[in-house]
Amino acid sequence: PRFAIEAAIQMIYQQDIGRTDKHPRVAGGEWWVQKRQLGEDIGFHHDKDEALASLKMTMKFPEISTVTYLTERGAPTLIFNQTTPDGNGEIPVVPETGVLSYPKQNRHLLFRGNLQHGVPGELTPNYGA
């Protein structure tokens, strides 16, 4: 690992995938960090290979998606049981189930990489502000 965050990702990979060697269906990973204002949305989306989606109109999803909270504050993540075969429609059309997870320091979410998810800012708790 070149950076502390890459060492953390390697540790998370070992924890989530359950192995230290290469998984046959995992070729790599993508990571990014966001600092958001309290109450700010992250629109609902599917994690995907953005280049394939843009250049070849193909939806290639990661095997797994994760969210790791570093603090106790902010809007929750909402994960629906919806996926999309091509980006033009949801299956099921209306979500039947979902999971809502509020931030907690070091909380780590793991879910199927093809599920729609986002951060609805309007569900941010009032922290006594």
- pTM, entire model: 0.85
9: left (phi over 0), alpha (psi -120 to 50) or beta: alpha
- Evaluate if residue 129 carries a pLDDT over 70: no
**49-66 pLDDT, tens digit each:** 888 888 988 888 988 899
pLDDT at 40: 93
**7-43 pLDDT, tens digit each:** 888 888 888 877 667 777 776 777 888 888 889 999 9
- Which pLDDT band holds residue 127 (cuts at 50, 70, 90)? confident
Q: Tell me the CA distances in angstroms from 111 to 36, 39, 47, 66, 128, one per residue in order.
A: 22, 23, 11, 6, 32
